[in-house]
Amino acid sequence: MSSEDSDFYGDDEIMADLKAKVKDFDPETWWEEHGDVNTPLKIQAENEDVEMLDVSHLHNPYAGLEYAWQLTETIEEFVERVPPATTDETPQNQWIWVCNPYINRKKKCEASNQQIRGGEDEAPEEEGADLPSVVEGGMARLHFASEYINMCKNSGNGPAFIARECRTAGTDAAKDILNLAKAHRVRCGKWMLFCNTFEVNEVWQTIAKATANNELGIGAKVAPRRTTDKRTERLICVYTADFSDTKDVKRVAEKLKKLGLIQANDKPLYYKPDVYTYLGIAHGNPWEIRASIYDTKSMLRTRKGTSSGE
C-alpha cells in the first residue's frame, strides 16, 4: 500500500479501530435507537404517502360530519369508528353516510332538502336542483288528485267505476310528479335493503366500500341503533343519480346481486324516488300511489337461457 493510500484510509491504529467497530456493530439495535431519525429515504417515503393521500380531486358533501365517511380514512377505519350495529342515533345524526367521492354533489349544509321536514337525510343534491319548486308543484298536484278522488267517491257511481277512477287519478298524479322532479333535477332515488342487526356491520362495509370505489351509486346510508325501536332489522339505502335512468338503476341492482346482497329466494328490494319521500308518499297513501317504482324481482327477471346482465 502506498503512503498516499495510508493517508486516505488512515493509519494502522485507526483501521484496526474501525474494523473492531464493524465487527461489533448490531444493525437491529442501531435501528431501534435511531428508527425515528428522518433519513432521506424515510422523508421520501413520507412524501410519497402524502401524494397517495391527495384528495383534492375527490368530493365529500359530508366532510366533517361525525357519522359520515371522511376521505382521510379507509372504509374499514370508518366502520370501526362508527359501527351501525352499536352506534346510537342522536338528534343530529339519524343516519350513517358514505358518499361516492368521484361524483360532485352539493354540501349537505347547502342543500335545500335541509329545509324540508323529513327530507334532511335524503341523497346529496345535484347542482341545479330546484327542490322548493318540486315540493310546491307536487303538493298542488296531489291536492288536485285528492279533490278528484273525493268527487268520485261522492258521485253516486258504482264501486267499480269509483275504484277505477281513483286508481287512475293516483297513477296520473305520480307520472306528473316524476316528470316535474326530472325537469327540476330532483332525480335521486334509492334501492332499500333490510338486514339483521347481527350482520349489519358486514353488509354495510360491503356497500360502503363499493360506493367509495365508484361501483354503486352516488351514496349510501344505514340506520344506526335506535334506543326506542326494538326491531331487529336495519334499513340501508343505496342511492342512484337519476330514477329515470333505468339502465343505471339496473346496473346498481345487478352489482348488489353480485355482492351477494340479493338472494334468489329472498324478498325483492324496492326502489323509491326521493321526490316521493319529500312529498310524504308512503305505503298506504290516500292516492293509492305505489311507494316504489321498481323492484329487483321485475328488473332482474331473466328469460330462459339468458342472464340478468344481458
In a domain, 136, yes or no: no
| Cβ atoms of residues 220 and 237 within 8 Å | yes
For residues 258-286, one letter each, b for 16 or more C-beta atoms within 10 angstroms of the residue's C-beta and e for the rest, the string is eeebbeeeeeebbbbbbbbbbbebeeeee
Please, what is the angle between helix 159-183 and helix 131-153, to 10°?
A: 170
Cα–Cα distance, 192 to 239 (Å, whole number): 9
**Do residue 115 and residue 9 come from a single domain?**
no
Residues 44 and 188 in one domain: no
d(CA 268, CA 263): 8
47 and 82 belong to one structural domain: no
pLDDT of res. 119: 76
Looking at the fold, whether 262 and 198 belong to one and the same domain comes out as: yes
Enclosing domain of residue 190: 61-126+181-310
Place of cell 493510500: 5
221-232 tens-digit pLDDT: 999 998 777 778
Contact 108, 124 (CB under 8 A): yes
The angle formed by the CA atoms of residues 266, 268 and 273, to the nearest 5 degrees, is 155
* CA–CA separation, 94 and 223 (whole Å): 7
For residue 18 the three cell numbers come to 474501525
Q: What is the pTM of this model?
A: 0.78
**Tens of pLDDT, residues 161-218:** 999 999 999 999 999 999 999 999 999 999 999 999 999 999 999 999 999 999 999 9
